[in-house]
Structure 1
Amino acid sequence: MRIGIFGAGAMADALGTRWAAAGHDIMITGRTPGKAKALADKWDAGAGTFQEVADFCDVALIAVLYQGLESTLAEIGDALRGKPILDCNNAVEIDHFTLVTPPGRSTAQQIQEVTGGKVVKAFNQCHAKVWELQPPVFDGRALVVPYCGDHSDALEAASRLITDLGAEPLLVGDLRHALHLEAMAAIVISLLFGGRDQHTVFNLVAS
């Protein structure tokens, strides 16, 4: 699969590293070209402009700080229209650990509306350190990764990429459920800021 990564931070590094190891072709871009080029060199992959990465990819990952999301989407423009987009972002303020998106709206819905892409919410429940695990296993069980979206082809791509990390995909509904996944992530973030280990996760309990 040809994956275009928008962003060059910790999440882009962790997920891109694992997907490159799984044999996917990757091209990366970011608001700091030097950081994007460093990750591309690490993966033996390509780096390019926002347009070049959008043209290259079969599926995109947007992984940026929420403060930079608006400018990132403006830079992407219409270039990802109709393509699967993975959204791992969380719009959480760290004073009270609540969402800063408009009431009833998720980051994932915002991205879908602005880009015209087929957005899947996924990978937002864990710190980047979790995605570095090879594979992410807790108490002998693979990490369960909830994801949601409106488009079957995008959901299929997300499921494959979750599986390629050694995790277990769990479809939880259409994109309206992204708001709930983002709220769950706010709880995880509050735990991390409270001193919990970076590998803290939600996971299903076997009955």
Structure 2
Amino acid sequence: MSNVSIIGLGNMATAIAARALAGGNAVELIGRDQAKAEESAAALGGATAGTAGAVPAGDIVILAVPYASAAAVVGEYGDALAGKVIIDISNTFNADASGLVTPDGIAGAQQIAKAAPASAHVVKAFNTIFGHVLAQGGRLDVFFAGDDARAKAAVSEFIESLGLRPLDVGGLEMSRWLESVGPLLMGLARNGVGNFNIALRVDILEEQ
């Protein structure tokens, strides 16, 4: 099992933390509001509350903050993230989910990787699942991308421990396509499906 630190105290952070604890992982919650971090950790049962800006206890650090502040947060932590596997779960679409706010051809995860210490490895994951859907349970598909084989193996094992199916889509450059899934999901939820209780899944078909 993994030792995981989650920076952020939102719904997605809580959903991942709950499933991580259920899977036998050690979980540390970190937020700028120390009282809220301690309250959230106590509510989950079994989690601990870390200190914002200090070296995270986990070998895997989940960056559960909005894209707009993600690179800045990583920069603030600086060498405290050295040697860590950083999972970026952010989405990069605009306010009405009609497009992305990142520069053409560049993923938010790649920008985060540039802000991280050279010894840290960024892996994109979890951004294609709505937080409330993740919290409901079930074996969902988690698409992930990264450049370091060991980091991806650690993330894959962690995803499995959550009762989810990890699906590797390639190097970190593929993160921009994972981030493009955000507007697709929003469009499906608002139109073709009509609600947000949806998740993307890959079906492997037998040869005919």
Q: Answer yes or no: same fold by TM over 0.5.
A: yes
Q: RMSD of the TM alignment (CA)?
A: 1.9
The amino acid across from 1:203 in the alignment is R
Q: 1:175 aligns with which of 172, 175, 184?
A: 172
Q: What's the counterpart of residue 129 of structure 1?
A: 132
Distance (whole Å) between structure 2 residues aligned to residue 161 and residue 175 of structure 1: 18
Q: 2:121 aligns with which of 96, 118, 121?
A: 118
Secondary structure (helix, strand or coil) at the match of 2:92 reads coil
Q: What's the counterpart of residue 37 of structure 2?
A: 36
Gapped regions of structure 1 (runs ≥ 5): 137-142
The amino acid across from 1:7 in the alignment is G
Q: What's the counterpart of residue 163 of structure 2?
A: 166
Normalized against structure 1, the TM-score is what? 0.88
* 1:156-205 per-position Cα deviation (integer Å, ceiling 9, x unaligned): 11111211122211111010100100001221133345573322122113
Identity of aligned residues (%): 34
Q: What's the counterpart of residue 51 of structure 2?
A: 49
Q: CA deviation at 1:14?
A: 0.1
Q: What's the counterpart of residue 22 of structure 1?
A: 23
Distance (whole Å) between structure 1 residues aligned to residue 183 and residue 39 of structure 2: 30
1:197/1:80 Cα in 2 relative to 1: closer, same or farther (>3 Å)? same
1:169/1:70 Cα in 2 relative to 1: closer, same or farther (>3 Å)? closer
Q: What's the counterpart of residue 146 of structure 1?
A: 143
For the 8 Å contact 1:118–1:151, the answer to whether it is kept is: yes
Normalized against structure 2, the TM-score is what? 0.88
Identify which range, 178-187 or 71-80, moves more after superposition: 71-80
Distance (whole Å) between structure 2 residues aligned to residue 35 and residue 53 of structure 1: 19
For the 8 Å contact 1:63–1:89, the answer to whether it is kept is: yes
Structure 2 residue 103 is the aligned partner of structure 1 residue 102: yes
Q: CA deviation at 1:146?
A: 1.4
Gapped regions of structure 2 (runs ≥ 5): none
